[in-house]
């Protein structure tokens, strides 16, 4: 178990902040701070579709084409063929890293989720998703720093 982060702590803070970055018109949404905030079972502002939460599993990185985002804390990739979300924790801090994504093809009922890596430093992990072909997925990486979840630059990819 990673320090300060329990198995059931998932992302209201990340999702609210990510929604502000990834969904047009929501930039003013206030983000709860820190892990374990209330409202983690449904996507921010959407009580109909639950947030998809997946724990990434250890897996060797494959040679399949993918789009990646990298910084000092986390490397994340989206592989459109096979619908794989890849994560690697690049910080020895003992805290999980995440890949936050949204399929906003249906603005009335967006599909959103978090792939969370709790396996520790340096190992590749992945979440195997079933995302609709032809949809644009917006995504970013997330890491815990200075008491809050931080987000990388938002990326887009067609699945």
User: Which tens digits make up the pLDDT trace of 38-97?
Assistant: 334 444 444 568 999 999 999 998 888 899 999 999 999 999 999 999 999 999 998 999
pLDDT at 12: 39
pTM > 0.85: yes or no: no
CA 28 to chain centre: 20
Q: How far apart are CA 49 and CA 51, in angstroms?
A: 7
CB of 68 closer than 8 Å to CB of 90: no
pLDDT at 48: 67
Q: How far apart are CA 134 and CA 136, in angstroms?
A: 7
| CB-neighbour burial class of residue 26 (10 A; exposed 0-12, middle 13-18, buried 19+) | middle
pLDDT at 60: 93
pLDDT at 65: 87
CB of 110 closer than 8 Å to CB of 137: no
Instruction: State the sign of the Cα–Cα–Cα–Cα dihedral 41, 93, 121, 155.
Output: positive
pLDDT at 89: 97
Q: Which residues contact 97 (CB under 8 A, 6 or more apart)?
A: 73, 74, 76, 87, 88, 89, 91, 116, 117, 141, 142, 143
């Amino acid at each position: 178990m990673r320090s300060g982060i329990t198995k059931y702590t998932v992302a209201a803070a990340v999702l609210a902040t990510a929604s502000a970055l990834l969904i047009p018109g929501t930039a003013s949404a206030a983000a709860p701070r820190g892990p374990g905030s209330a409202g983690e079972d449904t996507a921010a502002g959407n009580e109909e579709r639950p947030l998809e939460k997946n724990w990434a599993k250890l897996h060797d990185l494959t040679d399949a084409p993918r789009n990646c985002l990298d910084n000092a804390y986390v490397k994340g990739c989206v592989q459109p063929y096979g619908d794989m979300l890849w994560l690697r924790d690049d910080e020895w801090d003992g805290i999980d890293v995440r890949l936050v994504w949204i399929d906003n093809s249906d603005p009335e009922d967006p599909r959103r989720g978090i792939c969370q890596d709790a396996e520790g430093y340096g190992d590749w992990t992945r979440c195997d998703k079933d995302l609709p072909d032809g949809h644009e997925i917006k995504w970013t990486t997330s890491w815990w720093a200075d008491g809050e979840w931080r987000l990388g630059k938002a990326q887009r990819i067609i699945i």
